[in-house]
Chains A and B, each alone.
Chain A
C-alpha cells in the first residue's frame, strides 16, 4: 500500500481546508450557532420537555448530526470534484495508487474536517444549554463513523458530478430533506403513526436517533440499528467507489 500517497492527499486536502477556513469552518459553525439561538434559546423554552429532556438540549445531537452529515458530503464531494474541474485528475490516475489509497486520502480528510466542525459545535453547545453525555465513547464512535460514511457518499457525488449544479443537487434535494425529516428537531414518537412508519424508511433517522441515545440514553430506534445502518451504507459506498475506479466511470476515458 502506498501510505505516503494517502498522507500526501490527506495533507493537501487539510491544507486546502485551512486555506478556506472562513468558508469551510466558520460558516457551518455559525449556522449551527444560529440554530441553537433560534430553536434552543428563543423557541426552546416554549416547547415542552421531550422524555425529560429540555428542547434546547434535545436538538443538540440533531444539529450536530445535521452539520456533520452535510459537511462530510460537501467536503468530500468538492475534494474530488475540484481536481476534475481543474483537470488535474490525470495525476491521480497516472500515479501508482489504487482506489483504496485515493479514497482514504480524500474521505479521511473530509471526515476529519467535518469531525472537527462537529466537535467545535459540541463544545459551543455548552454555552447555550447544560449538556450531559451519557455514553461519550459511543458518541465519539458514532460521530466518527457518520463522518466517514457520509464522506464516502460525498466522494461518489463528487466523481459523478459534471458541474457545480450537479455537485449541489443531491445534498440539497435529497440529503437535507432526509436529515430534517429524520428527527433532527423532533422525536419520531411525536409523529402520527403513519409518518412514524414512513420515517423508518429514512436511514438518516436511525443515525440521529442513535446519536441522541448516546447523549440522553433514550432513542426512537435501538442504537444497534444505527450502527448497522452506518455499516451497510458505508460498505455500499466503498463497493461503488471500487467499481468506479475499476471501470474508470466518469474518471477515465
Chain B
C-alpha cells in the first residue's frame, strides 16, 4: 500500500500550555477510507486542522503525497480537500458562486462542467442560484462537500460529516463517500458515530486526549478484539440461574426468558457445546438461539476505558 499522508510524532500545544496532540504518528494509505474515532476533545479536529494549515504545529512532520505541509505547502494543500465540522458558508453568496470561489482559490481554472457534475452529484444543481442562507442544514453540509471537491482533491478530510444530520441524509452522505472512494480519492473522516466508521471505513484509528491508542483494519479489529455473545431464549421463565450453570458467568435477561453467554471469538474452544449440554441437563428447554458480535462502539469504549485506567491518556 502506498502511504499518502504520513504523520510523524506530531505535537500541538496551545499558548496556555494545553497539549492537544501528544506525538501522533499515523500513516494513511492511498485510496482508503480511514475513520478517526475519539470522544469529544480527543484531538481529532486539531489533527485535521494542523494537516490542512488552519492550526500551527508545535513539532513533528506531516507530508501529503510526499510534500511537506510547511515547506511545500502549495503542493500539499492543492491536493487536499477539507469539509469542516461547523457549517460555515458565506451566507449571502450563491451556491454555484461559492463552489467556483473554492476552485479558484485552489488555483484551478474555471471549469463549469466540473462544477455542474459536483452539484448534480450532491443534488444541489436545482439550488445553484440560491443564497447559502436559504439552504437547509443538510444542503449547507453538501455545499461544503461540493466546495471541498471543487478542485478535484486526492485527499479529502471530512470532519464529523454527519454531525446533527438526519438518518436519511446520513445514508446519502455515506453513499457519496463510497462513490468518491471509487474514484480513487483517499478519505479521512472523523466521527464519534461508531456506526459511521463501521459502515464506511477500511481502517480505524482511535484517538483519546491527543494520543493514538490504536490503528487497525476495521474487520481485523472487530475480529481480534470483538467478543461474541450467545443469547439463549428459554421456553419458560426463570428467576435465577440454575446452580449447574454457575461456572459460565451467564447473565439473566430482565424478562427471565434469556440467558446471555459472552465468549472470546479468538479462543480455541468457545465452550458453547458444553454450555448447551449443561443447559439441557439443568432441565431448561431452549426455544431459540441468537449470536451477536460486539460492535465497534463496544470495542472503542473498552479501549478508551482501559487506556484511562492505565493512565495512558
The residues of A with any CB-CB pair to B shorter than 8 Å are 2, 4-5, 7-9, 11-12, 15-16, 19, 82-83, 86-88, 90-98, 247-248, 252-253
Chain B, range 147-178, C-beta contacts under 8 Å to A = 147
A91 touches B104 (CB 8 A): no
Residues on B lying within 8 angstroms of A by beta carbon are 14, 49, 52-56, 73-78, 80, 82, 84, 86, 88-93, 97, 100-102, 104-109, 147
- Shortest C-beta distance, B147 to chain A (Å), equals 7
Contacts of A11 in B (CB 8 A): 104
Please determine whether A5 and B104 come into contact, CB atoms closer than 8 angstroms: yes
Do A83 and B55 have beta carbons less than 8 Å apart? no
Closest partner residue, chain A, to B73 (CB atom): A96
Question: What's the Cα separation between A247 and B54 when bound, in Å?
Answer: 12
Evaluate contact between A4 and B90: CB separation under 8 angstroms.
no
* Known A86-B88, A87-B88: A8·B101 in contact at CB below 8 Å: yes
Q: Is the CB of B105 within 8 A of A88?
A: no
Most buried by A among B54, B55, B76, B90: B54
Contact A86 B49 (CB under 8 A): no
A93 with B54: CB separation less than 8 A: yes
Query: With a CB–CB cut-off of 8 A, which chain A residues contact B97?
Result: 12, 15
* Residue among A83, A97, A98 making CB contact with B90, cutoff 8 Å: A83
**Chain B residues with Cβ under 8 A from A253's Cβ?**
14, 49, 54-56
Q: Roughly how many angstroms separate A72 CA and B235 CA in the complex, as a whole number?
A: 83
Contact A95 B49 (CB under 8 A): no
Tell me how far the C-beta of A106 lies from the nearest C-beta in chain B, rounded to whole angstroms: 12
A97 to B53, CA, bound (A): 11
Q: Which of A19, A82, A95, A247 contacts B105 (CB 8 A)?
A: A95
Q: Would you give the shortest CB distance from A1 to chain B, in whole angstroms? A: 10
Whether A96 and B88, one on each chain, are in contact in the complex, defined by CB atoms closer than 8 angstroms, is no
Cβ B92 vs Cβ A88 within 8 A: no
Do A96 and B106 touch across chains, with their CB atoms under 8 A apart?
A: yes
Kindly list chain A residues whose C-beta atoms are within 8 Å of the C-beta of B55. 248, 252-253
Q: For A5, what are the chain B residues with a Cβ–Cβ distance below 8 Å? A: 104-107
Compute how far the CA of A88 lies from the CA of B55 in the bound complex, rounded to whole angstroms.
Answer: 14
Interface-centre pick from B52, B53, B77, B108 (highest chain A CB count, 10 A): B53
- CB atoms of A90 and B54 under 8 A apart: yes
Contact indicator B105/A86 (Cβ below 8 Å): no
Bound form: Cα–Cα A243–B61 in Å? 22
* Complexed CA–CA distance, A83 and B105 (Å): 14
B105 lies within 8 A of A9 (CB): yes
Contact A91 B77 (CB under 8 A): no
Set of chain A residues within 8 Å of B106, measured between Cβ atoms: 5, 95-96
Tell me how far the C-beta of B67 lies from the nearest C-beta in chain A, rounded to whole angstroms: 10
Instruction: Please give, as numbers and ranges, the residues of chain A lying within 8 Å of B49 by CB-CB distance.
Output: 253
Q: Contacts A8-B101, A12-B101 given; 12 further ones with Cβ under 8 A?
A: A5-B105, A5-B106, A5-B107, A83-B90, A87-B88, A90-B84, A91-B105, A95-B106, A248-B55, A252-B53, A252-B54, A253-B56
Complex CA–CA separation, A16 to B102 (angstroms): 16
Name 16 interchain pairs, CB-CB below 8 A, sorted by A: A2-B74, A5-B107, A7-B104, A12-B101, A16-B92, A82-B90, A86-B88, A88-B88, A88-B89, A91-B105, A93-B52, A93-B53, A93-B54, A96-B78, A98-B74, A253-B55
Instruction: Give A95 to B82 CA distance when docked, in angstroms.
Output: 10
**Do the beta carbons of B82 and A90 come within 8 Å of each other?**
yes
Q: Beyond A86-B91, A90-B84, A252-B54, is A96–B109 a contact (Cβ under 8 Å)?
A: no
In the complex, which residues of chain A have a beta carbon less than 8 angstroms from the beta carbon of B82? Answer: 90-91, 94
Closest to B159 in A: A90
Least CB separation from B72: chain A residue:
A96
- Nearest opposing residue in chain A for B109, CB measure: A4
Q: Which residues does chain B contribute within 8 Å of A19, judged by CB atoms?
A: 92
A9 to B105: give the CA distance in the assembly, Å: 7
Shortest distance between the CB of B54 and any CB in chain A (Å): 5
Q: Which residue of A lies closest to B86 (CB)?
A: A87
Chain A residues with CB under 8 Å of B73's CB are 96, 98
Cβ-defined partner of A8 (8 Å) among B53, B104, B147: B104
A18 to chain B, nearest CB (A): 12
Across the interface, A94 reaches (CB within 8 A) one of B80, B92, B104, namely B80
Give complex CA distance A7, B97 in Å: 14
Do B105 and A8 touch across chains, with their CB atoms under 8 A apart? yes
- Do the beta carbons of B90 and A88 come within 8 Å of each other? yes
Q: How far is the CB of A87 from chain B (nearest CB, A)?
A: 4
Residues of chain A within 8 A of B78, CB atoms compared: 96
Name A4's closest neighbour in chain B (CB-CB).
Answer: B107
In the complex, the answer to whether A91 meets B56 with C-beta atoms within 8 Å is no
Flag if A94 contacts B52 (CB, 8 Å). yes
Cα of A161 to Cα of B100 in the assembled complex, Å: 28
Which residue of chain B has the shortest Cβ distance to A248 in the bound complex? B56
The reply to whether B54 and A96 form a contact with Cβ atoms under 8 Å apart is: no
Give Cα A253–Cα B52 distance, bound, in whole angstroms: 12
CA distance A247 to B56 in the complex (A): 8
Report the minimal beta-carbon distance from B171 to chain A, rounded to whole angstroms: 27
Decide if B104 touches A252 in the complex (CB within 8 Å): no
What residue in chain B is nearest A95 (Cβ atoms)?
B105
